[in-house]
Structure 1
């Protein structure tokens, strides 16, 4: 009954001022604009910065819960209905206004910055942020890549949307750097993590259309400073088949 009353009130508030039912907000929503910008080429970091900071939302009207991920951190908040929209409120006083525009979720933060999200396809039980990451991996690194330079030349490399990689000599797992400390350490460089049996290292990544270059990451910082990674020797050149 405690949940029924807030839901009934929300439905009453929103009826007549929106064509959507409250439950239409439910589910996982991802930042497709950031993915499209990344796939166009150029800097992955720039694409994510320009279309961030939030990459994924999870909304649960029944429990009045809202969560978002920025690719590094996650935040959990409470949903409440206003006269025209839903509002997500978080610790520290942060709020986001949420509304539906057709099949898209529109968000507006306290500074007036707006973002657009689309419903994730088959999110399943993916952890918060996982649906965006999976969609990015599919779009940005999906398909067959052939090693044209470096160890394993001639082999076909496949980056799976679950973080697995086959065809590269050595590593069997990868992760793109989206935000947080790895982004800070990489500066303006795109980077990824390659590992095998939970032991790995960062690499610098350069993607230009159907060409992918992977470089050793060289730390140019002093021992008492935060690492500052730059491109060292080129390890592989991959071309998409």
Structure 2
């Protein structure tokens, strides 16, 4: 079966790294997650990753504590760097060459983000993890994912979640929530479905970048998606 998506950007929330914990990083779950990523890497897919920092610090929580919004967002960006390094370590223990590129310069631990260099890493068979968001406050890591996916000319943006896709209402609260297999960007925005923030959705829409929303906890989902199988939901 031929690959449908040869270059992807995987958007992971910081909370995804918690596994079943309440805080921080669950090494066992991160190892399982890296097995899924390696499985797709081994069949020749070029993979970039954007990771959040909500398992350590969320900028929006910082503002609720009374911090200045920009300061809180910068703290959240630094949390994403910690997660990126943890993910890099886990991937390299599985013999997957990985580079962390940070939008905030910190040369001792990560390369500065340069678009052409990122693309070159992908072409050379390295996984690239984008850390520190866009480098600017007031932007979410969802927007970072959409921006970086457009910059590297990804075929697909994958939004990893804990549910099976996009529902017409919160499936955690409403047992009768319906899974929407395919939906347009405008419908997601107009119905205010909590897929991504509107800035991220608009970026994807303007660049005709499809978004796959899927359950990262179900083994094999990532592999099925790159082969074009019917998994989760697609926005296009």
TM-score range, shorter chain: under 0.3
- Name the structure with the higher strand share: 1
- TM-score (norm. length: structure 2): 0.27
Report which of the two structures shows the higher radius of gyration computed on alpha carbons. 1
- TM-score (norm. length: structure 1): 0.26
- Name the structure with the higher helix share: 2
